[in-house]
Amino acid sequence: MPPEKLVHMANQIGKFFASQPRGDAPAAIADHLRKFWDPRMRRAIVAHLEQGGAGLDPPVRAAVQRLASESGHQTV
Amino acid sequence: MSEDTQMSLIDEIDYGTPPSQAAEMVTLTIDGRAVTVPAGTSIMRAAMEAGTAIPKLCATDMLDAFGSCRLCLVEIEGRAGTPASCTTPVAPDMAVATASERLDRLRRGVMELYVSDHPVTSLDPCTLDPCTQGDVELLDVAAEVGLTEVRYGLDGARHRSTGLDVSNPYFMYDPEKCIVCSRCVRACSDVQGTFALTISGRGFDSVMAAGSDQPFLESECVSCGACVQACPTGSLIEKAVVETGRPDRTVLTTCAYCGVGCSFKAEMKGDDVVRMVPYKDGKANHGHSCVKGRFAWGYTTHRERILHPMIRDSIDAPWREVSWDEAIGFAASEIGRIQARYGRDSVGAITSSRCTNEETFLVQKLVRAGFGNNNVDTCARVCHSPTGYGLSQTFGTSAGTQDFDSVEQTDVMIVIGANPTDAHPVFASRMKQRLRQGAKLIVIDPRRIDLVRSPHVEAECHLPLRPGTNVAVVTALAHVIVAERLVDEDFVRMRCDWDEYQDWADFVLRPEHGPEAVEALSGVPADLIRKAARLYATGGNGAIYYGLGVTEHSQGTTAVMALANLAMATGNIGRPGVGVNPLRGQNNVQGSCDMGSFPHELSGYRHIAGGDVRRLFESDWGVTLNPEPGLRIPNMFDAALDGSFKALYVQGEDILQSDPDTRHVAAGLGAMECVIVQDLFLNETASYAHVFLPGSTFLEKDGTFTNAERRIQLVRKALAPRNGYADWEVTLLLAKALGMTMHYDHPSQIMDEIARLTPTFAGVSYARLEALGSIQWPCNANAPEGTPVMHVDGFVRGKGRFIATEYVASDEKTGPRFPLLLTTGRILSQYNVGAQTRRTDNVVWHHEDVLEIHPHDAEMRGIADGAWVRLASRAGETTLRAQVTDRVAPGVVYTTFHHPDTQANVVTTDNSDWATNCPEYKCTAVQVSPSNGRSPWQQDYEAFSDRSRRIAPVEAAE
């Protein structure tokens, strides 16, 4: 999948959770990606992060980092 | 319903006047028998409830009493004269006689005059030609009152005849047969709410007229057919009855058009449907219908329907008709080949929101248990997926909170991003009834929809917001409600999480959410925002009705949450008259979501990652399920383009025409190696298909649909499937060819499996549906007859959850290249991609999509009404005719998407909702300019479309 599109979609998710008054935005973003993104989409955004993660907003970058660290010991 | 009743004609009891809603009961005697009825009931109705039919012509229980025909006279002890029983309410200890020598004589006299004015050749209904004489209720009544001769003759002077009106494609009007009972006029005003009919002329010259004494088709008539249904003389009659003759049996079923889910009597003669008549006991429609449900079913026998399976090796080749065995075998082997080559996750399916719950459930089971992945989605993805996510986050369930009847107790309605008179017409009529009784209306919509101002209905406030600013405007309403202390604090403290409420209240109070700040973004005057907020918060029972104008935005989910916040803050949830009500688009879009069509969840909205839920299905189905969410529809196209998704089984959905950014969809489909389309017609998607499996219509199968009020209703087979199989049988054939062992003899067994695996459906079965007529889920041990209103004592999730709704501007911003915003929608006579309605006479009302543009924007561009214009966005361009109208605000243009030769979705983009990927159909930056003709895309597409629909001639047998 084109990384620009995934980055755009992930940043949209990020803007919502970052605007919530309480809670851990990166955790909520990572949870949303886990629940609704098919594994190949998650793999693609993790790969994009590993390439430098251009365009990812800070909380989204943190969320994708969590996915990446999980993928170390299980399939993302 | 037993086989016996299916075989006979259902003639519903007509009680003459509507039921009284009074709680107080009154006892009187009718013909010496004691009868107890609610206070306010008419004598006519009380008598009928006790089994005594009083002769009547102008009375019918869909309409308030009118008291004009003078046939329903009765005698009341202690009262002078012979009052009309339809207009006289019961009173305690009243003694009524419905028959006497005097009454018989009076009724015969009245009837004799009516018949003398009616063109009949005989008084004996048996001797009349049922086709040419039409409905004979008049003659039935003549027989009932014992009229045997007409002293004035049968060929005397009659009412003024204005000539036979056959302009409407579905019914005709013969003024000579009119007895001026006004039933049609009242049906049009009281039931439908259009006020298209009137009695013109005076005295003996009186006659019913449409519009300003115009042919029906030229009048404002919306062809709902309520007048035809009401007519007791055959003056208004369906053309199909005249052509085919009177029906002799009824099959009760459910309409397959919109999410209202009207109950219909399919009235049959032999193996033909003669007409569809709305069923009075239908809980969603109470005997009313629209032009689509009642009349637009001719597509079932349209010559373009495909009845034989077809395959081809490439989409450039012509189709080849083959046997079912060969088509199914080819499809299964292709899926197997592709999975072996590209991996288990390279295939998927789309379930249909037009098909039954049972069919939808089977397709997702085929994917999860047969394909071994979760790549299944449904067209709700592109309409109400934000409703599912938004309402489950705030309330805990993915569905509307009320039944339709709830509107009768509503004092203030907010209609946002919905156009009910076009898209949900039968419910719109209910809304208009309540508005005429005095309920107040707030419309939030970029267009001046018909509800804003129509006969005897006028919105208190219309907030004509700029497309894409719903979240800002709804949050501003919340700002006013909190700032002016209009919050129902008792409700919030008792029912919602108080800390979350306080966070939310602080959030909405920020100055950027104030009406002045939002006026700058949305174009809605601050005072209007204040007025609307005050009215909703303080006007009594407040109900929110919303449609795709809310969900189909990049912030669709946030907007749904904002509406839920508003309802909770004002305590407008958990009782009749209030609530948050998504108006669902398609007949079974609610059901397709309930059935586990989304890639991340099993039936009943339970995430596939949940171990317990998955194990329940695994033990029932005898397979191991994949715990990972699958691809959503837009993701499927992206995955196809990157080479990881290669085969798609599409049941009953035309994704190429209905999904946004057509060129992207076409590229995605073109990149797949096997596209299997199951449909009635060679739709636009079929141009990219390799296998075509003929589908069946709703008239040809058994099953259930679930409407927008969570109401599960039976769909009953009236005809044998012309293609040979019901859709569930086709899926079953494919499943078996793939080696699955599932087996069902009847859809009721599929429902039993759904009930076994889905707690909210635990109490649902065909036997219960037959007994109760319909069931609103949840239906289980706690609610054995279903649940009309949800969240009554507490939210499904426990405490209601307030969520902050920050406005994020759409990426679709206007600028020098694309200075206008396009929004799209539907029209009354056509339905979605039009595959069905375009193949009916409904095209007389809407034969092409047009672009609504404000006079100011049109003049600046030198565009005249009716001129061809080019509509372009960053995604693509098309051409269509302009309609210059101030219905849209300056800066906004609007069109429909019913016709493939316009293809509005060439212009819409692949932007989508942040949470669900629901496309942003309702907001596209565009430019409009004069055009000489069709765009290159349209010309190429037509050539491609013709080429891809070729069917090779069948070779003669040896």
User: Chain A interface, mutation test: which of B502, B558, B661, B914, most A Cβ atoms within 10 Å?
Assistant: B914
Of residues B566 and B140, the one with the higher pLDDT is B566
* CB-based contact B832:B899 (threshold 8 Å): no
Q: What is the mean pLDDT of residues B282-294?
A: 96
Q: What are phi and psi of B188, to 5 degrees?
A: -65, -40
The candidate with the shortest Cα–Cα distance to B545, out of B306, B718, B656, B709, is B709
* CB-based contact B90:B46 (threshold 8 Å): yes
The candidate with the shortest Cα–Cα distance to B549, out of B540, B541, B559, is B559
Residues B699-714 pLDDT 10s? 999 999 999 999 999 9
* Residues whose CB is less than 8 angstroms from the CB of residue B263 and which lie 6 or more positions away in sequence, other chains included: B252, B253, B254, B255, B278, B279, B281, B282, B283, B284, B285, B713, B774
Give residue B940's pLDDT: 87
Whether residue B493 is found in the same domain as residue B623: no
Asked whether residue B517 is domain-assigned, the answer is: yes
The candidate with the shortest Cα–Cα distance to B111, out of B74, B137, B77, is B137
What CATH code is carried by the domain that includes residue B543?
Answer: 3.40.228.10
Place of tokens 């007519």: B231
What CATH code is carried by the domain that includes residue B55?
Answer: 3.10.20.740
Give residue A74's pLDDT: 46
Asked whether residue B751 carries a pLDDT value surpassing 60, the answer given is: yes
What CATH code is carried by the domain that includes residue B277?
Answer: 3.30.70.20
* Residues whose CB is less than 8 angstroms from the CB of residue B272 and which lie 6 or more positions away in sequence, other chains included: B244
* CB-based contact B353:B588 (threshold 8 Å): yes
Q: What is the mean pLDDT of residues B608-617?
A: 96
Sequence letter at residue A60: V
The candidate with the shortest Cα–Cα distance to B718, out of B240, B273, B355, is B273
Long-range contacts (CB closer than 8 Å, 24 or more residues apart) made by B103-109: B103/B73, B103/B74, B103/B75, B104/B145, B104/B146, B106/B70, B106/B73, B106/B82, B107/B55, B107/B71, B107/B73, B107/B145, B108/B145, B108/B146, B108/B147
Asked whether residue B900 carries a pLDDT value surpassing 90, the answer given is: no
Q: What is the mean pLDDT of residues B425-435?
A: 97
Contacts of B812 in chain A (CB under 8 A): none
* CB-based contact B851:B880 (threshold 8 Å): yes
How many independent structural domains does chain B possess?
Answer: 5
* CB-based contact B410:B813 (threshold 8 Å): no
Q: Identify whether B778 is preceded by a cis peptide bond (ω within 30 of 0).
A: yes
**Strand intervals (E) in B672-819:** 674-679, 691-694, 703-706, 711-715, 774-776
Which H or E element spans position B292? Answer: helix B291-295
Contacts of B345 in chain A (CB under 8 A): 38-40
| Six-digit token string for B79 | 């009262």
Beta carbon pairs, A and B, within 8 Å: 67
User: Chain B interface, mutation test: which of A11, A29, A34, A40, most B Cβ atoms within 10 Å?
Assistant: A40
CA–CA min distance B614, chain A (Å): 15
Give residue A75's pLDDT: 43
* CB-based contact B536:B566 (threshold 8 Å): yes
Give residue B492's pLDDT: 97
Separation between Cα atoms, residue B86 and residue B66, nearest integer Å: 8
What CATH code is carried by the domain that includes residue B844?
Answer: 2.40.40.20
Asked whether residue A73 carries a pLDDT value surpassing 50, the answer given is: no
Whether residue B204 is found in the same domain as residue B247: yes
Domain end among B283, B301, B319: B301
Quote the percentage of chain A above a pLDDT of 70. 93
CA–CA min distance A67, chain B (Å): 14
Residues B150-161 pLDDT 10s? 888 777 666 667
Separation between Cα atoms, residue B847 and residue B476, nearest integer Å: 40
Give residue B150's pLDDT: 86
Whether residue B445 is found in the same domain as residue B518: yes
Q: What is the ipTM of this complex?
A: 0.95
Asked whether residue B720 is domain-assigned, the answer is: yes
Give residue B3's pLDDT: 43
Torsion of CA B168, B170, B175, B180, to 10 degrees: -110
Whether residue B630 is found in the same domain as residue B531: no
Whether residue B91 is found in the same domain as residue B148: no
Residues B904-955 pLDDT 10s? 888 998 899 999 999 999 999 999 999 988 888 888 888 888 888 999 887 6
* CB-based contact B580:B574 (threshold 8 Å): no
Separation between Cα atoms, residue B407 and residue B412, nearest integer Å: 10
Tell me the pLDDT band of B5, cut-offs 50, 70 and 90: very low
Asked whether residue B548 carries a pLDDT value surpassing 80, the answer given is: yes
Give residue B4's pLDDT: 42
Asked whether residue B1 carries a pLDDT value surpassing 80, the answer given is: no
Asked whether residue B307 carries a pLDDT value surpassing 80, the answer given is: yes
Q: What is the mean pLDDT of residues B789-798?
A: 93
Whether residue B429 is found in the same domain as residue B554: yes
Whether residue B18 is found in the same domain as residue B140: no
**Strand intervals (E) in B447-565:** 453-454, 457-458, 461-463, 542-546
Rg for chain B, CA atoms, rounded: 29
Contacts of A75 in chain B (CB under 8 A): 628
Separation between Cα atoms, residue B873 and residue B850, nearest integer Å: 17
Separation between Cα atoms, residue B299 and residue B281, nearest integer Å: 27
Separation between Cα atoms, residue B47 and residue B157, nearest integer Å: 36
Domain end among B582, B613, B640: B582
Whether residue B420 is found in the same domain as residue B540: yes
Domain end among B99, B124, B141: B99
- Residue B437 CB coordination number (10 Å): 8
Sequence letter at residue B669: L
Chain B residue with CA closest to A15: the answer is B808
Contact A15 B632 (CB under 8 A): no
| Six-digit token string for B849 | 């999509």
Separation between Cα atoms, residue B544 and residue B789, nearest integer Å: 14
∠ CA B725-B726-B728 to the nearest 5 degrees? 115
Chain B interface includes A23 (CB < 8 A):
no
* Cα dihedral B487, B491, B492, B498 sign: positive
Domain boundaries along the sequence of chain A: 3-71
Place of tokens 């995430």: B607
Q: β-strand B376-378 against B347-351: which pairing, if any?
A: parallel
* CB-based contact B70:B110 (threshold 8 Å): yes
Whether residue B334 is found in the same domain as residue B374: yes
Residues B195-248 pLDDT 10s? 999 999 888 888 999 999 999 999 999 999 999 999 998 899 999 998 988 899
Asked whether residue B10 carries a pLDDT value surpassing 80, the answer given is: yes
Q: What is the mean pLDDT of residues B467-484?
A: 98
Whether residue B355 is found in the same domain as residue B418: no
* CB-based contact B599:A38 (threshold 8 Å): yes
| Residues in a beta bridge with B236 | B173
Q: What is the mean pLDDT of residues B403-420?
A: 97
Separation between Cα atoms, residue B944 and residue B895, nearest integer Å: 24
- Write out the residue range of the structural domain in which residue B417 sits: 385-582
Chain B residue with CA closest to A76: the answer is B628
Average pLDDT, chain B: 93
Residues A3-30 pLDDT 10s? 999 999 999 999 999 999 988 999 999 9
Chain B contact residues (CB < 8 Å to A): 345, 374-375, 503-504, 506-507, 554, 557-558, 599-600, 607, 609, 628-632, 635, 638-639, 642, 644, 803-804, 806, 808, 910, 912, 914-917
| Six-digit token string for B431 | 């809304």
**Strand intervals (E) in B360-408:** 376-378
Quote the percentage of chain B above a pLDDT of 70. 97
Q: β-strand B440-444 against B601-602: which pairing, if any?
A: unpaired
CA–CA min distance A34, chain B (Å): 8
Tell me the pLDDT band of B124, cut-offs 50, 70 and 90: low
Whether residue B535 is found in the same domain as residue B649: no
Whether residue B478 is found in the same domain as residue B552: yes
Contacts of B632 in chain A (CB under 8 A): 36, 38
Tell me the pLDDT band of A76, cut-offs 50, 70 and 90: very low
Place of tokens 């997702």: B364
